[in-house]
Amino acid sequence: MSRDEAWNVFLEGDNLDVLPRLAQLSGDPRPVDLVYIDPPYNTGNDFAYRDKVARGAGVSRHQAWVAMMRPRLEAAREVLAETGAIFVSIDDNEAAHLRLLMDEVYGEAQFLAQIVVNLNPKGRQLGRGFATSHEYLLVYARDARRCVLDASSTEAVNERDFPLTAPDGRRYRHLPLRNTNKKFNPTTARTLHFPVWGDPRSGTVRTADFPGAVEIAPVFGDGTPAVWRWSRPLIEERPGDLVCRVVQGRQGERVDVYQRDWLHEGRRKKLRTIWLAEEVGSTDTAVAELKEILGHVFESPKPTGLLRRILQTMPDDVRVLDFFAGSGTTGHAVALQNAADGGTRRCVSINSAEPTRIGSNAQLDGYATVADITRARLRAVAERVGGGLLEP
């Protein structure tokens, strides 16, 4: 299988050494379109990527963590396409410092979202204080003006939001044709303030008078002038998608116009900035996923559902990079998503030969390094899901 065909590529080494040589080592000169990383959370333990950053001498653990992350984020920016985006998982220990660091490296104008991810719905019961049940995803574009990220998903669409059914079986809902945002009014959107005519008995709406019709002007609930969301030509083009009816307003009965908003295959809905465990999985489901493949060899993997949601915000042929690959969740998710939708995504996973903890399940199962776990998972995924694995 060629590099252009394999869904997964695994590179072992310190990401700071590998990233500048990514094109050479992966055999692919193209920039990456999507970066996802789950870096060390700096919970007080030493992290493997020390980079000669001396602790002590006035250097806090936060400063040491930022010093470790900065060159890696800068190196990732260099290999990221102008149309690409980066997602970074983090918890409260470094969320504030990471936000400032991302603003410096990628630019404040490239910030897209700070997403709350409910990975532990029961909440952590150990220790004092609140039962923390969330982490964060920081999302930045390489260039927000050109970024191809689509912050919507077909899975976010709920059929129950479309309670009406047409004679042909299609489901729909009514949306006011009037623009409900008062920023848009006859002063700011003059061409969208015009009368239409409608018959509330039949529901018919037209831009010209017809027998049985009444004149309908767009107004807000308090009776002040408003504007339509559609232009006159669009109303004339799609009269079958409009209906008028009598409504009870603050000043009594009036006739208003509504759009039939159809539920159709492939429809997408904007993603909220809170992602629930029931939508993307939890740490418990992630442990179970990995356990089913390799055993209980990694303490806090990410669920593939989280990565698959991220993948769905980008085109289905993107080149993905995870340079803190951990247990290999990103590569696993790429294979699952390709198998599900026929995509041709490619994923490069990078992990260092960090020794597994002495006495841990991983060490007892024969995994000397975390990279051994990544490699073993991606090999198992290639066998079970397909797509192959290259290990240059």
Average pLDDT of the residues of the chain: 93
- Residue 162: pLDDT above 80? yes
> Cβ–Cβ contacts within 10 Å for residue 242, how many?
21
The whole-number average pLDDT for the span 277-292 is 96
pLDDT digits (tens, 9 = 90+) for 38-47: 999 876 555 5
pLDDT at 145 over 60: yes
Please determine, looking at this structure, whether the domain spanning 8-155+268-390 carries the CATH number 3.40.50.150.
Answer: yes
What band does 163 get if pLDDT is binned at 50, 70 and 90?
A: very high
Query: Residues spanned by CATH 3.40.50.150 within the chain?
Result: 8-155+268-390
**Token pair listed for 124:** 């952590």
The model's pTM is 0.86
Find out whether 300 and 283 touch, Cβ atoms under 8 Å: yes
What does the pLDDT look like over 335-375, one tens digit per residue? 999 999 999 999 999 999 999 999 999 998 999 999 999 99
Query: At 49, is the pLDDT very low, low, confident or very high (cuts 50, 70, 90)?
Result: low
> Tell me, what's the pLDDT at 166?
93
Residue 191 pLDDT > 60, yes or no? Answer: yes
Angstrom distance (rounded) from CA 284 to CA 8: 25
Say which range, 16-30, 53-67, 89-103, 368-382, has the weakest mean pLDDT: 53-67
Contacts of 160 (CB under 8 A, 6+ apart): none
Q: Of all residues in the chain, what percent carry a pLDDT higher than 90?
A: 83
Angle made by CA atoms 84, 317, 276, in degrees to the nearest 5: 70
In whole angstroms, what is the distance from residue 8 CA to residue 339 CA? Answer: 13
Residue 127: its pLDDT value, please?
Answer: 77
Return the beta strands (E) in 118-213 as ranges. Answer: 135-141, 152-153, 164-165, 171-176, 196-198, 205-206
